A and B are shown apart, each in its own frame.
Chain A
Amino acid sequence: MCRKGKTTVPDTLKTPLYPLHERLGASMAAFAGWALPMSYPAGTIAEHKAARSGAALFDVSHMGQVEITGDGAAEALERLMPQDVVGLKDGRQIYGFLTTEDGGILDDLMVSREGDVLRLVVNAAFTEADLDVLRQGLPEAEVRHDTSRALIAVQGPDAEDALAAHAPEVRQMRFMDAARSGSMWITRSGYTGEDGFEISIPAGEAEALASALVQSGVQPAGLGARDSLRLEAGLCLSGTDIGPGTSPAEAGLKFAIPKVRRRDGARAGGFPGATRILAELTGDGPARLRMGLRPEGRAPFRAGTPIFAGETAETPFGHVTSGGHGPSVEGPVAMAYLPRNPPQPDSLVWGEVRGRRIPARIVPMPFHPHAYRR
């Protein structure tokens, strides 16, 4: 157990909101090299519920913000990812991923367009790796890692009202819209399954905005709530639920590959691993899929929990990639890669926790319905 009192996390980077976290009494943890709040005095479950029924604020400044400019940048980016970057309109955002030659996923990311500028948000743990790939793949373009800005997520049904006081533009936005409001670049998106916004803001202005939002009743929320929210929403964590060893179809991310990049599309293929990735989109698809599990009882299936086809089966046929308690579903939830056939949806599998087999039902994801403002 940790020491009492102020928790210090050595050798970590601090976000522009670090002083605010300390003032709010956060318990800090190291994540991808950054000191970030694990939870605030309200506790993870209360923070989670605030995002589902009110509004919650997350410091996601650790994520990599990358700006790409230059002629042909969109075309060049399509050589690295199977999304429609060329067709991305000004003021819109897409979800996508960088792929590997083997048809796996290097990292997932968001791309928004402001005029001729493409703005990417990539995962903190993979920022350097992604930058290498982007710079090699886009030699003609300028790829700039913008470390001068914070990133704040405001999530929940009350997010629009809370943010509109500072950026009235947000009232006109729909899910995956992107808009400028003064020095802020705002997208209507997030990582919780709720309606909400991510705000890119100059570091020096971040604390004033965040503390005003908290003053107005937005609940500050830490990494614990962020993880349970995205888990209930069925969203992948890069490096955990997806990675070089999992293809987009296996991960259930077919929705993110538009027609124009699929076989017979106007700009079909042309990205790393295209042969396998596109082949898996047709016919029977891959042999295994990322599936949702609802374990019986209250014991969570944590990452690594082996999953068996039967109560006495000797060898596991899959493992949990991430799992834990779902405060909104009021019970444990987990994701695992399991053979597509069998089991069928709703069939029973078994997880082994502390030497005991616990039944779990395969259910469709998300575990908690999305509430995006489309």
Chain B
Amino acid sequence: MKYTENHEWVSLEGDIATIGITEHAAKQLGDVVFVELPEPETVVAKGDEVVVIESVKAASDISAPLDGEILEVNDKLVDGPGLVNEDPLGAAWFFKMKLEDPDAWADLMDEDEYKELTE
């Protein structure tokens, strides 16, 4: 598991990455009430805003952690945004993307580096 400074987690299987938000992020956001997901087959560049999350407090977004193409989105979050607070690291993944350069994944933050960021 790797992390970004935007409090996303990124897991990798082959050249397909799965993206969600960390427990820290879910806690800071408060109860999530709305999630807007990207269209599958959208080609995205690192840093593109691809997901909108609204909590009881405010709106925020998830950006693409790396270059690639959106393969699949987690539609469960649209009808049940509260899942983001219940299981941010598991059931509440947001999208899967095919990475243009799977090797770039290794350059993301590891768990220790991410912990340092949030302390």
Contact = CB atoms under 8 A, between A and B. Distances in A.
Interface of A: 1-5, 38-39, 43-45, 224, 228, 298-300, 302, 324-325, 332, 354
B2 interface: no
A359 B80 CA distance: 21
Contact of A1 (B25, B31, B78): B25
Given A4-B119, A44-B30, A44-B31, A299 B56 contact: no
A4 B24 CA distance: 7
A333 to B, nearest CB: 11
Contacts, number: 47
Q: Is the interface of B mostly helix, strand, loop or mixed?
A: mixed
Nearest to B49: A354
Contacts of A332: 33-34
B31 A43 contact: yes
A189 B84 CA distance: 35
A300 B34 contact: yes
Given A1-B28, A2-B28, A228 B56 contact: yes
B18 interface: no
A324 B56 contact: yes
B88 interface: no
Contacts of A325: 31, 33-34, 54, 56
Best-buried of B33, B54, B78, B119 by chain A (most CB within 10 Å): B33
A297 B54 CA distance: 13
Given A4-B119, A43-B85, A299 B28 contact: no
A298 B7 CA distance: 24
Given A39-B30, A298-B34, A325-B34, A44 B119 contact: no
A1 B56 CA distance: 15
B30 A298 contact: no
A4 B30 CA distance: 14
Contacts of A224: 30, 56-57
Given A224-B30, A325-B34, A38 B118 contact: no
Interface string B67-92: 00000000000100110010000000
B43 interface: no
B100 interface: no
Nearest to A46: B31
A299 B54 contact: yes
B33 A43 contact: no
Given A4-B118, A44-B30, A302 B57 contact: no
Interface of B: 7, 24-25, 28, 30-31, 33-34, 36, 52, 54, 56-57, 59, 78, 81-82, 85, 118-119
Nearest to B35: A298
A298 B57 contact: no
A372 B59 CA distance: 33
B81 A298 contact: yes
Contacts of A302: 59
Nearest to A300: B54
Nearest to A227: B56
26 contacts: A1-B7, A1-B25, A1-B28, A2-B28, A4-B24, A4-B118, A4-B119, A5-B119, A38-B30, A38-B57, A39-B30, A43-B30, A43-B85, A45-B56, A45-B82, A224-B56, A298-B34, A299-B34, A299-B54, A300-B34, A302-B59, A325-B33, A325-B34, A325-B54, A332-B34, A354-B52
A38 B28 CA distance: 11
Contacts of A228: 56
Contacts of B34: 298-300, 325, 332
Nearest to A7: B28
CB-CB nearest 4 A-B residue pairs: A325-B33, A44-B56, A298-B34, A45-B31
Nearest to A324: B56
A346 B25 CA distance: 39
A120 B119 CA distance: 44
A300 B33 contact: yes
Contacts of A4: 24, 118-119
A276 B33 CA distance: 41
Contacts of B119: 4-5
Nearest to B24: A4
A298 B33 contact: yes
Nearest to B54: A300
Given A39-B30, A299-B54, 6 more contacts: A1-B7, A1-B28, A38-B57, A43-B85, A44-B57, A325-B56
A302 B57 CA distance: 10
